[in-house]
Structure 1
Amino acid sequence: MTDLAPRELRVLVAVGSEGGFSAAAALLGMTQSAVSHSVRASERKLGAVLFDRGRNGASPTAAGERALGHARRVLRLLEVMAAEVRGASQGDGSVAGPLRIAVFRSAALHLLPRALERLTARHPGIVPEVRIVREVGPGTAGEVLGGRADIAVATIGTTSPVPPGLVGGVLLEEGYALVHPAGHPAPRTLPLVDWAENCTSYTREWWAAQEWLPAATVEAEDDGAVLSMVSSGFGMAVMPELSLIGAPPSVEITDLGMARPTRSVGYVTTPELAKSLAVRSLIRELRTTEG
């Protein structure tokens, strides 16, 4: 059986976050040799090299990335255990402490705030820590998988399924619409404006079938920049409903019909944290927001 103590896990996490043994030692109040010894001991126990050592510091190997994700999640579970035990000992079942949330931009603007308002009113001891993460590559779900977030609001679907080892559920289905400058006589002749996070949201079949849609000539940083460009008359865009909440009157939103593309927005967490009071409470508030 692999037996790594919490102290050894903290050393691994510190080396990963600080990018080197010296910086990790300073963070932990240890000597560099003690940090090196701890990492070597962990590598022997796990049977894998966890960090590539070099003149510029230490970077996680593929095995190291996996180990760091597990280490962060184990350490977080110890913190959650302590918080929930303290709440149980007080007899009111309350819980206090941070709740780490990863969310993509439009959900952070239009879905999360109302849920957090109710959550903190009912559980004032919970302190939300929100990070806005681009929904590309590992995206928000990757923050949970890597142990950097307790729960993520993520896009879920065939092109971005819940990662193995995590659990999740759908909160809402949002459709897409054509967005263009208000009053334009032929909006479908305009250049297409897009952004990286939007590309994986459509079904490939739908996109390929739209002969009127050209390849994007402009790729913006986020959906806010896309909306600004469309508003200024620069082009048209195909955007999801969350991104269009509060759209300015200078743009017009045209329904794409029954065959319009949709995407699922949901939550992702670990099986262990899914049972915790803070995560369960946030999921309930997110569902109420969209109910």
Structure 2
Amino acid sequence: MADDLLPQELRILVAVADSGGFTAAAERLGLTQSAVSHAVRGCERKLGAVLFERGRRGAVPTAAGERVAGHARRILRLLDELPAEARQGEPGGPRGPVRIVAFRSAAGRVLPAVLARLAERCPELEPQVRVVRDLGRGTAGEVAAGRADLALATLGAAIPPGLVAVPLYREDYALAHQQGHPDPRGLPLVDWDENCGSYTADWWRRQDWIPSATINVSDDTVVLSLAAQGLGMAIMPMLSLDRLPEGLTVTDLGPDRPSRQVGYVTTPELARTAAVRAVVRELRAAPLPAGASAVRTAGEGASRRP
């Protein structure tokens, strides 16, 4: 027990990781810099690992430090949830904050109806929504790092291990191009950073008609605007094609079209909390957005990545 990390030590580790230095963490927590430095050294001694690289620019988490900070955030979040869990069953339903992250099309097409139902059914619940780009570890990475309770994410190899990932719908890809163009597949490719992943990579490799991107931007609305002007074609998920600019049309890619699964991701511990269960209930009850189809799964469709 003497080697267990205390909640205050976990808070100090998270503050240093988030602020990038001992002095900034001390100011954030109302402590002295020496107290923070002493606490971090104590944590490193207990864990037997170096958690931060110290330098002139502050303190940068090592790989071990990143993992420990993620676990620390998740533990502190569970501690925050204890009062709400103790009051389960009281009138008014779950209460307090629930942190949700989503990539943009899911945030715009799926969450509004879910949040409206939550406001009606769970008036004491306080959803906090952030939009995170679908790159790298993406929204699921925010859950793994303890910065979010639940994520709407594209499901695939990028989901960090140890999380609960449950599919909600499937989203096909289609070809967007200028209306009336005689040979849309012969146009240059306009693409954006978030548009590919493990779920479509195999399909892309098999298509010898798709050139390398000649224009690559950071926003899918820019892709659509460029394609509408005839500057290229774009291969995009259907939920990004719900509001087409004037002059743009969509063509089906045929029976071999690529698709991606979108679902929710949370931790095994938070999946049992009343707040996350309330969000999941409304996600499952929400109507499918236009352009999406149901995912057929065995049982309840839950998949756990060990």
Identify the TM-score tier after normalising by the shorter chain. Answer: over 0.9
Once residues 22 and 206 of structure 1 are traced to their aligned partners in structure 2, the CA distance between those partners, rounded to angstroms, is: 50
Q: What are structure 2's unaligned runs of at least 5 residues? A: 289-306
Report how many aligned residue pairs link the two structures: 287
Asked whether the equivalents of residues 84 and 93 of structure 1 are also in contact (C-alpha less than 8 Å), the reply is no
Q: Does 1:225 align with 2:222?
A: yes
Q: Is the partner of 1:11 in helix, strand or coil?
A: helix
Deviates more, 1:203-212 or 1:57-66: 203-212
Once residues 94 and 209 of structure 1 are traced to their aligned partners in structure 2, the CA distance between those partners, rounded to angstroms, is: 50
Encode CA deviations 1:228-286: one digit per residue, 9 max, x unaligned: 21123221101101111122342111111111001000111000001111111111211
Indicate the residue corresponding to 1:50 in structure 2.
51
1:86-235 equivalences in 2 (<5 Å): 86-88=87-89, 91-92=90-91, 94-157=93-156, 159-160=157-158, 162-200=159-197, 202-235=199-232
Indicate the residue corresponding to 2:258 in structure 1.
261
Once residues 128 and 250 of structure 1 are traced to their aligned partners in structure 2, the CA distance between those partners, rounded to angstroms, is: 38
More helix by share: 1
Q: What are structure 1's unaligned runs of at least 5 residues? A: none
Counterpart AA for 2:250: I
**Cα 1:120–1:268, aligned 2, differ >3 Å: closer, same or farther?**
same
Indicate the residue corresponding to 2:236 in structure 1.
239
Instruction: Please report the RMSD computed on the Cα atoms of aligned residues, expressed in angstroms.
Output: 1.5
Asked whether the equivalents of residues 150 and 279 of structure 1 are also in contact (C-alpha less than 8 Å), the reply is yes
Once residues 211 and 165 of structure 1 are traced to their aligned partners in structure 2, the CA distance between those partners, rounded to angstroms, is: 37
Once residues 220 and 284 of structure 1 are traced to their aligned partners in structure 2, the CA distance between those partners, rounded to angstroms, is: 36
Once residues 47 and 34 of structure 1 are traced to their aligned partners in structure 2, the CA distance between those partners, rounded to angstroms, is: 20
Identity %: 60
Asked whether the equivalents of residues 95 and 124 of structure 2 are also in contact (C-alpha less than 8 Å), the reply is yes
Counterpart AA for 1:67: V
Asked whether the equivalents of residues 226 and 237 of structure 1 are also in contact (C-alpha less than 8 Å), the reply is yes
Counterpart AA for 1:225: V
- Detail structure 1 runs of 4+ shifted over 4 Å in the superposition: none
What's the CA shift for 1:26? Answer: 0.9
Once residues 247 and 231 of structure 2 are traced to their aligned partners in structure 1, the CA distance between those partners, rounded to angstroms, is: 12
Indicate the residue corresponding to 2:285 in structure 1.
288
